[in-house]
Each structure stands twice: as structure tokens, then as C-alpha cells.
């Protein structure tokens, strides 16, 4: 039990005893019933989550719903300048264009004016590991670990997020691409071959998009102006050794790229818009309507459900552990891994505390003459091994995973949920539906400076 649970259980045990000592048995019996309920709420779990946490989340969501804070209507007819352009946790965010010498296109930086965080995004093309040999895979995994470990050397870096988007489409992109590129005087044989290729191509396909978003804390960097902070975010992102980890860098995201990523997340039908349609302002990235329900999110005619990672696999994982979750399916899916690298001093303190807790549990077990369980032995060995690795120079990273699936019809949500749950089961992941926090979990997968634990 943590400190909060210990205090609740101790208070529930002490109050009936004090009532008995002060006033007799009847007041003690009267207070024993609510005290027992408090103790049960402090230790009982449902789906791996404490019952009291579920109750608190439901009460908060219901209070926000009564106050109208779960509904958003776009300010189409509101006078300019508008105060808020995006709903919920996205409201304080604004888009800044950073122009660098030697680069014709500006770089988009999203600034969260409430938290002071700024983020820049790089668009990636993952090479995949299905055809790579194990030596190459080991080098890529090691390089990614070195990249995450290097984030601890910069105090201004708050967190990094990697997002994989899987967007099904009708498979007409190949036909449209070839139709505009066949010369009028092309040979008949060439036309025939291209026609056969289009006819043999699958009618359903999936577009995969990957990006890495780096978020800096401008307060920790002690920047005097927002312009200098935005330029620093762009420079830091450009210095990351991403290619060594097995992903090709396409380009740093422009303001139009960020507007498109946010807008298509809220309105999947906008995927077919031409590239020039995204040279608009940040106000056009948000939805026209959005409604945050208890177990799903309704936005611009689409419906989304989001999950957060509850428990990672306890066994040793391979490099392709997330492959089933990142495999295309029938519905749009967004998988986001969020990393926060702890500083050297903080990491040492955390791991030392875990090692001390393991030693205390071992001492209590010996005093009670109880045999250790297999899970207790595994937890102790894991804590000691992590402390030894950190002492030799390894970094400590806290991570979270968020999954969002989107459908065009509400009746398809059950099938989309089953698809995600099957994929998570194949990955040995335990996901929790973000009940009462659908809008926030949905926003976690967008290229913005938003970190759910800070809310």
C-alpha cells in the first residue's frame, strides 16, 4: 500500500477503537460500518485500479458534465480574436512558425501557454525489422536506448512521444497516382502493364504514419522570450540521432503538417483533402463539435475510444512486442509511446528506494517465517539489477502507452474495441479504458506539448 492507502486503513481501524474507549460499545459499532467501507475502498481493486480512484474519477467527470465542461462547440460565429480555438486540454495551445537559415519551409512549434511547454515534431518513415538480421536489430534497439538515455543530460527536455498512426483507405491512391502520370503518347504495352498493376492491387490498404514529438520545458531552460525557446526546441530536435534507431527522417513538421495531423484526428473524412488545404491557421485545426462521454469521445461525426497502459509484460520482451498493436486493422488506430527520462540524481534515488523496499519486504518475510513467492523473488531481482545498471551509467526512463481507435459510426465501436483488445492481448499488455478521461487520452496522441500525468 502507498501512503494514502496506509493512512486510510489506519484511520479506519483507529476511529472505532477511540469511539469504544471514549463512549462505549454502541458508538464503536456505529462507526465500525463506515470505517470498514473506507478500508475496503482503500484496498479493493477493479480491473487493476483502486475502487476509490474509480469513484473519484467518476465524480469529477459527472461534476464537469453538469457544468457543461464536457461539451465543445466551435466558435464559428465568435468575434476575432477568439480566446480558445481547440477543446479541453488543447485550449491553451497555439502554433508558432520558426524560420531557420538555409531551410525554405518553416518548422511548426506548438506552445502550451498554460504549462510553458513547447514541442516540435519530426516526421518519420519506419524501416521495419521483418527483413532485418538480428545484429542490425540489436544495434537499432541499443541506439534507441542511447537516445532516450541522452535526454537526461538536458534539464530542459520534459518528455518525448512516438506516435504510430494506421489509417485505412479505399486503395485508390495508386490508381489516382498513375492516372495523372501516364503520357498521352505512351506505348500500348506500358499502358496495359500499368492497368494490370492497378487491377491487381488490393482494394483496401492502410497508410502508416510515424512521428516523434519532443517537448521542452521553457521554465527549466530559463528562456527570456518565446522566440528563443521555440528556436531551441527546433535545434534540440534536429540533434537527436534518430536514424541510428531504425527510422528515416522525412522532414521536420511544418505548421501545415501539424494542422493536418490535428484536424484529421478530429475529422477522419478530411484525409482526402489536397495538401494545399492545410495552409491555414491553428484555429482551423480543431473540431466544430466535440462531446466527451464517459467511455468514448464524439468529435465531428466520428467516434473514438482510448486506452492507457495499466501493466506492461512481466516477462522479458522482444523487439517486436508491439507488432500486433501496430499492425493494420479495419479501423483507424493511433498508438503513442510517451517517455520521460529521469535525471541522474533522481534516477539513483528512485532505484535505491525500490531496492530498500525489496530488502524491507525480504526482512519482514524472514521475521514472519514465510516462504517467498516467485513474484516476490522476481521483483527483488529486478529492483537490484536495475539499481546496478544505473550505477554503471544506464538511464532510467518512465514510459506510458496510449491507444486510440476511431470509427465513423457509433455502432462500430464495439468491434473496434475488440480489435484493440485482441491486439493488446497478443502484445501481453494490459490496457485500461480511459473512463472519464477520453478527451485527455485522445489528446495524448496528438503532436502537442501535453503530458497526462501533469494534469
CA distance 450 to 161: 10
Could you tell me if residue 281 is inside a domain? yes
- Helix, strand and coil content of the chain, in percent to the nearest 5, comes to 45, 25, 30
185 occurs within a structural domain: no
Q: What is the pLDDT of residues 258-314, one digit of tens each?
A: 999 999 999 988 887 777 777 778 888 888 889 999 999 999 889 999 999 988 887
**pLDDT of res. 222:** 64
Mean pLDDT calculated for residue range 49-68: 86
Give long-range contacts, CB 8 A cutoff, 24+ apart: 310-316. Answer: 310/47, 310/48, 310/49, 310/430, 310/431, 310/432, 311/48, 311/429, 311/430, 312/429, 312/430, 313/427, 313/428, 313/429, 314/378, 315/428
**Residue 195 lies inside a defined structural domain of this protein:** no
253 in a structural domain? yes
Distance, CA of 275 to CA of 409 (rounded, Å): 26
* Angle, helix 3-23 to helix 25-43, in steps of 10 degrees: 170
Range of the domain at 243: 95-172+205-342+395-454
Closest to 402 (Cα-Cα) out of 331, 453, 341: 453
423 burial level (CB within 10 Å; 0-12, 13-18, 19+): buried
Q: Do the domain assignments include residue 72?
A: no
| pLDDT tens for each residue of 183-198 | 888 888 888 888 888 7
Q: How confident is the model at residue 223, as a pLDDT?
A: 58
Residue-wise pLDDT for 305-324, tens only, equals: 999 998 888 778 888 889 89
Statement: residue 11 has pLDDT above 80: yes
Band the pLDDT of 82: cuts 50, 70, 90. Answer: low
**Overall average pLDDT of the 37-63 stretch:** 84
pLDDT digits (tens, 9 = 90+) for 252-262: 999 999 999 99
Q: What is the mean pLDDT of residues 403-427?
A: 93
Asked if residue 213 has pLDDT above 90, the reply is yes
Q: Mean pLDDT for the chain?
A: 84
Q: What's the pLDDT band for 390 if we cut at 50, 70, 90? A: confident
pLDDT over threshold 60, residue 363: yes
Res 444 pLDDT > 90: yes
What are the cell numbers at 124?
Answer: 518519420
* Residue 87 included in any domain: no
H/E segment holding residue 401:
strand 397-407
- Residue 444 CA to chain centroid, in angstroms? 5
- By DSSP bridging, strand 45-46 and strand 205-217 are unpaired
Q: Residues 327-360: pLDDT tens digits?
A: 888 899 999 999 998 887 888 888 888 888 888 8
Q: Report the distance separating Cα 94 and Cα 74, nearest Å.
A: 16
Q: Tell me, what's the pLDDT at 414?
A: 93
Q: Is residue 84 part of a domain?
A: no
pLDDT for position 266: 93
User: Residues for the chain: how many in total?
Assistant: 455
CB of 390 closer than 8 Å to CB of 348 = yes
Distance CA 152, CA 341 (A): 6
Position 274 in a domain: yes
Q: How confident is the model at residue 204 (pLDDT cuts 50, 70, 90)?
A: low
Q: How many domains are contained in the chain?
A: 1
Cell 510553458, located at residue = 116
Asked whether the beta carbons of 344 and 152 are under 8 A apart, the reply is yes
Amino acid at each position: 500500500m502507498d501512503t494514502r492507502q496506509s493512512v486510510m486503513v489506519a484511520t479506519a481501524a483507529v476511529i472505532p477503537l477511540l469511539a469504544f474507549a471514549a463512549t462505549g460499545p454502541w458508538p464503536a459499532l456505529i462507526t465500525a460500518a463506515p470505517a470498514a467501507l473506507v478500508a475496503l475502498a482503500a484496498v479493493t481493486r477493479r480491473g487493476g485500479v483502486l475502487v476509490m480512484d474509480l469513484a473519484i474519477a467518476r465524480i469529477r467527470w459527472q461534476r464537469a458534465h453538469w457544468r457543461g465542461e464536457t461539451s465543445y462547440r466551435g466558435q464559428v460565429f465568435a468575434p476575432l480574436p477568439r480566446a480558445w480555438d481547440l477543446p479541453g486540454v488543447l485550449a491553451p495551445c497555439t502554433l508558432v512558425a520558426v524560420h531557420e537559415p538555409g531551410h525554405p519551409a518553416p518548422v511548426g512549434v506548438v506552445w502550451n501557454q498554460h504549462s510553458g511547454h513547447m514541442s516540435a515534431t519530426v516526421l518519420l518513415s519506419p524501416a521495419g525489422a521483418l527483413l532485418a538480421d538480428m545484429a542490425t536489430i540489436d544495434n537499432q534497439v541499443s541506439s534507441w536506448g542511447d537516445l532516450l538515455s541522452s535526454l537526461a543530460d538536458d534539464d530542459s527536455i520534459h518528455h518525448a512521444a512516438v506516435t504510430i498512426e494506421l489509417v485505412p483507405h479505399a486503395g485508390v491512391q495508386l490508381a489516382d497516382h498513375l492516372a495523372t502520370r501516364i503520357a498521352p503518347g505512351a506505348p500500348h504495352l506500358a499502358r496495359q502493364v500499368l492497368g494490370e498493376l492497378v487491377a491487381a492491387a488490393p482494394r483496401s490498404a492502410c497508410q502508416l504514419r510515424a512521428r516523434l514529438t519532443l517537448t521542452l520545458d521553457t521554465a527549466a531552460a530559463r528562456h527570456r522570450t518565446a522566440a528563443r525557446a521555440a528556436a531551441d526546441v527546433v535545434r534540440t530536435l534536429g540533434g537527436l540521432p534518430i536514424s541510428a534507431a531504425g527510422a528515416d527522417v522525412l522532414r521536420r513538421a511544418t505548421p501545415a503538417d501539424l494542422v493536418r495531423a490535428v484536424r484529421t484526428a478530429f475529422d477522419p473524412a478530411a484525409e482526402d483533402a489536397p495538401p494545399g488545404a492545410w495552409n491555414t491557421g491553428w484555429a482551423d485545426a480543431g473540431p466544430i463539435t466535440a462531446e466527451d462521454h464517459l467511455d468514448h469521445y464524439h468529435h465531428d461525426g466520428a467516434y473514438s475510444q482510448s486506452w492507457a497502459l495499466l501493466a506492461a509484460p512481466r516477462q522479458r520482451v522482444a523487439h517486436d512486442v508491439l507488432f500486433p498493436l501496430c499492425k493494420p486493422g479495419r479501423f483507424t488506430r493511433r498508438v503513442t509511446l510517451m517517455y520521460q527520462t529521469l535525471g541522474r540524481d533522481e534516477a539513483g534515488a528512485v532505484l535505491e528506494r525500490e531496492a530498500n523496499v525489496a530488502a524491507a519486504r525480504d526482512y519482514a518475510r524472514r521475521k514472519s517465517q514465510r516462504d517467498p513467492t516467485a513474484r516476490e523473488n522476481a521483483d527483488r531481482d529486478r529492483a537490484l539489477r536495475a539499481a546496478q545498471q544505473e550505477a554503471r551509467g544506464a538511464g532510467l526512463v518512465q514510459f506510458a502507452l496510449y491507444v486510440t481507435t476511431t470509427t465513423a459510426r457509433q455502432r462500430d465501436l464495439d468491434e473496434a474495441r475488440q480489435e484493440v483488445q485482441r491486439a493488446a492481448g497478443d502484445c501481453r499488455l494490459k490496457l485500461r479504458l480511459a473512463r472519464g478521461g477520453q478527451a485527455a487520452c485522445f489528446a495524448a496522441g496528438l503532436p502537442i506539448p501535453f503530458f497526462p500525468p501533469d494534469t
